[in-house]
Structure 1
């Protein structure tokens, strides 16, 4: 029987596995993968009770920051050892935002679940009352705060109210004369993005993509012309699909362009007057995600197939009139990243940082050059980056939130190729009274 303390066993197993995986990746990238054998995952299941007890203990009130740092050194963060616990305790984190004071907003729960919005400040966890969903404009000034009554827009987090916007009733933009039914409950947002004027909000949901304003909503998807095409083809109005899957939106940094899409069809880009500017064929089966670069002069468009995908990049200057098909070889829409199905991503100067369905953060340049990868685990569900590009936060569907200091130092337990150091990990699990700081 191993007489080592569980903490020591954990530390040695996590460090040894990270070292082995990082070496394996380095050799594979340099020499090829054909004759390499992936390192075996260490047996740590017998250490989970001790890990849980230690995590609960370090989160008791009155614990100092030095004690917490010692805890992270003794029990270094890892994902794979926790796999046996995920089925019963994991829950998704579907929204995260870094506030200007360094605190963090998070929505615990998937979009279709009731969920809870929390503010994480240091190690303090505070429920945000009266807010069920949130979002921020690309300029980081206006915030959208939503509940069953509608959407409020504030000038800054905690700032003055500048607009109240009603939810769409669901009949906006639908062909008249057909027996369509209004929504029986407010949409559940997957994105809420205020415009630079603070008076409108871009809403993505499975019930449709809309622009919300005080005098009502404007439907962007599904489009009336597509619905009419179905009706003209003889489809019964009751069978016309008004719901969306894999719906997604992105707003340019200046708020003048909107990229949007869903799993059926191609990527769309709309201009300042919501007019169709471009239709871009995806590089995989199903349009899934969109992201503008930091400068606002390039757009990244991802499409997926199962747990894989591909992302094309298109210069904003090339958008007017652009119309390409699936898997187009048009030189204006080159593939910048091949392999990742994306749910979340951010941009900083000259670089995209995206999270894939296999638990990796992947960074690459605006011409497609790979920069680095960083393993968190599980599907990456939400991301944000600080205004100065130095702090990254990434969340997963396994219920973890990782706060990462970019361009610092990679700790020995971190799996990845970049010089980035996680400074805190939150465990947002069922069965815990609140998220626990690791």
Structure 2
């Protein structure tokens, strides 16, 4: 009797495990997760990994869409089954941004890791060695590129940059004693151009900066915080942990924070407006909803956390402490440590430390959720709202069709959207692999 093809065993095991997890999630949600045991472990498919990888490389050899589609149908992806390969291959995805022509910018490696920037179009990828980091504007019509010590803000396919701005030196507004201690901490964690194409926010370990035609303004640490730090008996260099920022769609607001203290709101010209206490221990992420009427602020504790939505109309009358209730503040996600997010129709997609995507509205209603793999590290929605790109610390980029209403049988979640493709940006592979 002929042994079944390896892919048939893989396919059956992956689909069975997905059915089990979806049933488990349905039961957990129905019981509000009270008295739930752990789900079954993922199937051990390690013996099939050499065959899978051989066939995946073969499917990618000709960059043929039909060959890759056939491979995916035979070998549906399961993150947990790939864990034996990740120790030597995984890396963070530091940033993602869609281009107007449908291309996707990818920064491999988290900001603190060596990496490179590539652009992916259909089944082709091209390295952009001159680009250090990039970021998209809130309306996703512009992209800012960090190139050779400056910022180029580009609109669509226009050949000339809309603006060319200097990058921060790092000593802006530093008291002399702190300037003397300044370290080389110029790795860009976030780069956010405004919709007007003339300003950009730069987030680094040594500060949050607003760059514009008139120069560079430091937002964090504030002048008062710098003076206090400089006056200490044993001053130390400026170094911010878990620093982050977001720009509102209308360009009127900048939200930012770092591990110590409350979230800060500045106006679009860098003037401080208010401070908002998180509903968690350590501020970790900020993002504006698509309509700009609310900002989401996440704070974490280990791998958990909470996200609040704050009405931007209340910025002129809010000043809250940690966990303080306020009519303009609502908890919209009570459990996740959020690393990345993206605005979508009617809400915001939050990506957490456990590899879950949760789309919520500003009232806290869960719109949909799905599991994609390891800790989420980057996210980008296309300008037309159709596509969502999600990067994780497994070195994977997931391309998700937000207009879909039916998920693949291997997908796990509630009202999950169809994953069209995933790219493996693995350290030991000669080129990215489309799956």
TM-score interval for Structure 1 and Structure 2 normalised by the shorter chain? over 0.9
Corresponding residue number in structure 1 for 2:9: 9
Provide, for residues 125-176 of structure 1, a one-character-per-residue CA deviation record: whole Å limited to 9, x for no partner: 111231111112213233211134322222335631233222222221123x
C-alpha displacement of 1:340: 0.5
Task: Note the 1:16-95 alignment, pairs <5 A.
Answer: 16-31=16-31, 32-34=33-35, 36=37, 38-61=39-62, 63-95=63-95
Corresponding residue number in structure 2 for 1:401: 397
Corresponding residue number in structure 2 for 1:387: 383
Change in 2 beyond 3 A, CA 1:94/1:236 = same
Gaps of 5+ in 2: none
| TM-score calculated relative to the size of structure 2 | 0.95
| TM-score calculated relative to the size of structure 1 | 0.94
Corresponding residue number in structure 1 for 2:193: 194
Q: Which runs of 4+ in 1 moved over 4 A?
A: 182-186
C-alpha displacement of 1:211: 1.2
Corresponding residue number in structure 2 for 1:269: 265
Task: Note the 1:225-240 alignment, pairs <5 A.
Answer: 225-232=224-231, 234-237=232-235, 239=236
- Contact kept, 8 Å, 2:141 with 2:383, in 1: the verdict is no
Cα RMSD after superposing both structures: 1.9
Task: Tell me how far apart the structure 2 counterparts of residues 388 and 82 of structure 1 sit (CA, whole Å).
Answer: 33
Change in 2 beyond 3 A, CA 1:305/1:96 = same
C-alpha displacement of 1:236: 2.8
C-alpha displacement of 1:285: 0.5
Q: Is residue 433 from structure 1 mapped to residue 430 from structure 2 by the alignment? A: yes
- Contact kept, 8 Å, 2:28 with 2:34, in 1: the verdict is yes
Change in 2 beyond 3 A, CA 1:196/1:51 = same
Q: Is residue 411 from structure 1 mapped to residue 408 from structure 2 by the alignment? A: yes
SS in 2 for 1:80: helix
Task: Tell me how far apart the structure 2 counterparts of residues 266 and 179 of structure 1 sit (CA, whole Å).
Answer: 23
- Contact kept, 8 Å, 1:169 with 1:182, in 2: the verdict is no
- Contact kept, 8 Å, 2:185 with 2:206, in 1: the verdict is no
Corresponding residue number in structure 1 for 2:207: 208
Gaps of 5+ in 1: none
Task: Tell me how far apart the structure 2 counterparts of residues 293 and 368 of structure 1 sit (CA, whole Å).
Answer: 12
Change in 2 beyond 3 A, CA 1:35/1:344 = closer
Task: Tell me how far apart the structure 1 counterparts of residues 183 and 152 of structure 2 sit (CA, whole Å).
Answer: 21
User: What is the total number of aligned residue pairs between the two structures?
Assistant: 433
Provide, for residues 267-316 of structure 1, a one-character-per-residue CA deviation record: whole Å limited to 9, x for no partner: 00011332111100010000010011111111110000000010111101
Corresponding residue number in structure 2 for 1:125: 125
Task: Tell me how far apart the structure 1 counterparts of residues 158 and 289 of structure 2 sit (CA, whole Å).
Answer: 28
Change in 2 beyond 3 A, CA 1:48/1:111 = same
Task: Note the 1:11-410 alignment, pairs <5 A.
Answer: 11-31=11-31, 32-34=33-35, 36=37, 38-61=39-62, 63-157=63-157, 159-175=159-175, 177-178=176-177, 180-181=179-180, 185=184, 187-214=186-213, 216-232=215-231, 234-237=232-235, 239=236, 241-408=237-404, 409-410=406-407
- Contact kept, 8 Å, 2:92 with 2:110, in 1: the verdict is yes
Change in 2 beyond 3 A, CA 1:133/1:105 = same
